[in-house]
Amino acid sequence: MRGKVNEDLKIEDVLKFTKKFALWLGKGSKVALGRDTRNSSLMYAQIIASGLISMGIHVTDLLDLPTPIILHYIHLKKLAGGVIITGSHNPEEYNGVKFVGPSHTFINNEEIEEIQKLSLKGVSSEYPAKWDEIGLIHSADAKKLYKSLLNKELDIKNIKKRGLKVIVDTNAGTAKGVIDIFLSSYGCILIHLHEKFNITNDSSMCYPHFPRKIEPIAENLEVLKLEMKKTNADVGFAYDCDADRLTVVGPDGEVYPEDVSVLLPMHYFLHRNALKKSPKKILIVTNIASSLAFDDLAEKFGAKIYRTQIGEQYLARKFTQLKLDNPGTLIIGGEGSSGGFMYPRFNNARDGIFASCVICDCLSQHSESLSELIKNIPKYSSYRESFTVPKSLKIIDRLKIHLEEENLTYIAKGNDVKIINKKRKEWILVHQSNTEPVIRVIAEAKEASRAKSLVKQYRVGIEKKNQE
């Protein structure tokens, strides 16, 4: 569920679905509740908590925390599910509610349909549970549990020895009070950016706005770019509101593509595995919109690669299946298209906090600079554009028909169609949004001009077809 606060995402709709979700889980189930730092998230959290406990669900309220830490807690505690309120990388007038099922990832479309079909009729809307059956609510320190296990994945002694200078741009999101504390404890010298909300006057009733636009993309990171050049820091990290995404910035102020946030820590783990006397078999999972660099690394390290449709839940479910079928295997990956690194041995979720710490570990193991380490990653150029179309138009279906008529090979997953030219090492992907009347066209090629040309070509073609 997502949309503009109190417009698309209405309190009554959230409460109704929450109660059905509680029915689906069953009375007495235990769930975790967490949220990002948006002002509206607290409003939704209070409604959701009330709805859950009124249906006899026991709630662990984790307050405002990064989404990956909440998912990590749900999995470790073997809870029945959870609810996370976050607008993620979207503008601050938006918010969303993500429901986590017994699989410990976000519920899929089939589960959503199953929940929506449940009827609250016959279940009193005022008193669904008897007075002595309503759920209990308590808090827990999920951050402490997460860090205790994170420490085991890192060479802390080496990180402390290196004494990295790191700039963290949390944008007053959930990474604040987490990544700064973690990296400080590992001996990093921190420079903080955008820690506090913008409040236009001293009134306690003034709305708290985020200090920069939420999505951590180059055009929103001008301050971080300048600080990197000015301070000669080793690395800069920027996060979205719930810290599942990470953007990496180099000492020269270069904002690296989203794929680098996944490929850099992934390369580190693959390289470490290759140095072992008995390297593990490697399986890589990414999505259909991620770089061909994933395929190049898979070839370099002898790994098998799987590509899912876009969306964290699809990767998480694939990881779960692969872990069950391939014990003792190194399974790794993430959504390069959104800068979401996933390492299911530690956390089966996109995790910007974990990725940041692993990158610091990687830098500490080498004398080279960040830019030198990134040279190990195959380089491609990508370009993307979004444009509006009538929501009723079945763009993807039309595109498939056109490609078949032209005898062109393509891959279709969900709302995505991808055309790959293996010879030229380039691809184009067309995505039609489920939630808004928008088409996104993404291309990747060896040259930036070629990627841009591909996007323009397909955009013109799609718009022309719409007018027919």
Do both 338 and 260 map to the same domain? yes
Domain's final residue, options 203, 232, 255: 255
Q: Is residue 147 a part of any domain in this protein?
A: no
Mean pLDDT, rounded, of the chain:
91
* Cα 63 to Cα 85: distance, rounded to the nearest angstrom: 10
For residue 204, the model assigns a pLDDT of 60
pLDDT reading at 1 higher than 90: no
Domain's final residue, options 83, 111, 142: 142
Q: Is residue 155 a part of any domain in this protein?
A: no
- Greatest CA span in the chain, whole angstroms? 68
Q: Is residue 158 a part of any domain in this protein?
A: no
Do both 8 and 88 map to the same domain? yes
Do both 194 and 76 map to the same domain? no
Number of domains in the chain: 4
Q: Is residue 157 a part of any domain in this protein?
A: no
* Total-model pTM: 0.91
DSSP 135: P
Provide the pairing of β-strand 416-421 with 426-432: antiparallel
Do both 419 and 445 map to the same domain? yes
Do both 289 and 412 map to the same domain? no
Do both 433 and 358 map to the same domain? no
Residue identified by tokens 């395929």 is: 295
pLDDT digits 0-9 by tens, 93-124? 999 999 999 999 999 989 999 999 887 765 55
Do both 63 and 110 map to the same domain? yes
Q: Give the Cα-Cα-Cα angle 84, 85, 86 (nearest 5 degrees).
A: 110
Domain that holds residue 452: 381-466
Q: Is residue 159 a part of any domain in this protein?
A: no
At 262, which CATH number?
A: 3.40.120.10
- CA distance to 24, 170, 188, 238, 264, per residue, from 355 (Å): 34, 14, 15, 12, 9
Q: Which two tokens stand for residue 231?
A: 């301070």
Q: With bands split at pLDDT 50, 70 and 90, how would you rate the model's confidence at 126?
A: very low
Buried/exposed code over 81-92 (b: 16+ C-beta within 10 A; e: otherwise): bbbbbbbbbbeb
Do both 319 and 398 map to the same domain? no
pLDDT digits 0-9 by tens, 295-340? 999 999 999 999 998 889 999 999 999 999 999 999 999 998 888 9
* Cα 111 to Cα 123: distance, rounded to the nearest angstrom: 21
Task: Find the DSSP H helices in 154-292.
Answer: 156-162, 179-185, 222-231, 258-274
